[in-house]
Structure 1
Amino acid sequence: MSTGADRTAFGPMVIVAADQHETHPLIDDPWARRLLPAGGRLAVALTRYRPIRRAMIAATEKKIPGLWASMLCRKRYIDDILIAALDDGGIEAVVILGAGFDTRAYRLPALAAIPVYEVDLPANIDRKRAALIQALGHIPGNVTLVPIDFETQNLADTLALHGYTAQRRTFFVWEAVTQYLTEDGVRRTFDVLATAPTGSQLVFTYVRQDFLDGTTRYGAEAAYAEFVVKRQLWRFGMTPGHVAAFLAEYGWHEREQAGPQEFRSRYLEPSARAMPVSDIEHSVHATR
Structure 2
Amino acid sequence: MTREAARTTDGPASIVALEQLFPAGKRLLDDDLILRIVPWSIRIWTIILAPAWLRDGMFWFFEKLTPGVWALFPCRKRYIQEKAEDAVSHRIRAVVNLGAGLDTLVFRSQVLASLPAWEVDQPVNVAAKRKGLERALGKWPDRVTQVAVDFDHEDLSQKLRNAGYEGNEPTLFVLEAVTQYLTEDGIASTFDFLSKAPTGSRLLFTYVKQSFLDGDDIGDLKMIYKSTVQKGIWHFGLNPETVADFLAPFGWEVVAHESSEEIAARYIPATGRTIRTMPIEPVVYAVKR
Structure 1: 4+ residue segments shifted above 3 A: none
Partner of 2:118: 117
Measure, in 2, the Cα distance between the counterparts of 1:129 and 1:264. 31
Partner of 2:14: 14
With normalisation by structure 2, the TM-score equals 0.95
Measure, in 2, the Cα distance between the counterparts of 1:109 and 1:124. 24
Measure, in 2, the Cα distance between the counterparts of 1:260 and 1:9. 19
Measure, in 2, the Cα distance between the counterparts of 1:144 and 1:19. 28
Cα deviation code 1:219-247 (max 9, x no counterpart): 10111112111x21011111100101001
Cα deviation, residue 9, structure 1: 0.9
What's the % identity of the aligned pairs? 42
Letter in 2 for 1:275: I
Partner of 1:250: 250
Q: Kindly indicate whether the alpha-carbon contact (under 8 Å) linking 2:261 and 2:279 is maintained by their aligned counterparts in 1.
A: no
Measure, in 2, the Cα distance between the counterparts of 1:142 and 1:106. 10
Partner of 1:38: 40
Equivalent residues in 2 for 1:121-270, closer than 5 Å: 121-229=122-230, 231-270=231-270
Cα deviation, residue 258, structure 1: 1.5
SS state at 2:250 partner: coil
Measure, in 1, the Cα distance between the counterparts of 2:7 and 2:64. 20
1:64 to 60, 63, 66: 66
How many residue pairs match? The answer is 286
Corresponding position: 1:29 with 2:31: yes
Cα deviation, residue 273, structure 1: 2.8
Q: Kindly indicate whether the alpha-carbon contact (under 8 Å) linking 1:73 and 1:263 is maintained by their aligned counterparts in 2.
A: yes
Letter in 1 for 2:287: T
With normalisation by structure 1, the TM-score equals 0.95
Query: Aligned-residue CA RMSD in angstroms?
Result: 1.4
Measure, in 2, the Cα distance between the counterparts of 1:151 and 1:237. 16
Measure, in 2, the Cα distance between the counterparts of 1:63 and 1:196. 41
Measure, in 2, the Cα distance between the counterparts of 1:159 and 1:205. 21
Partner of 2:82: 80
Structure 1: gaps (5+ residues): none
Letter in 1 for 2:28: L
Q: Kindly indicate whether the alpha-carbon contact (under 8 Å) linking 2:98 and 2:121 is maintained by their aligned counterparts in 1.
A: yes
Letter in 2 for 1:33: L
Q: Kindly indicate whether the alpha-carbon contact (under 8 Å) linking 2:2 and 2:233 is maintained by their aligned counterparts in 1.
A: no
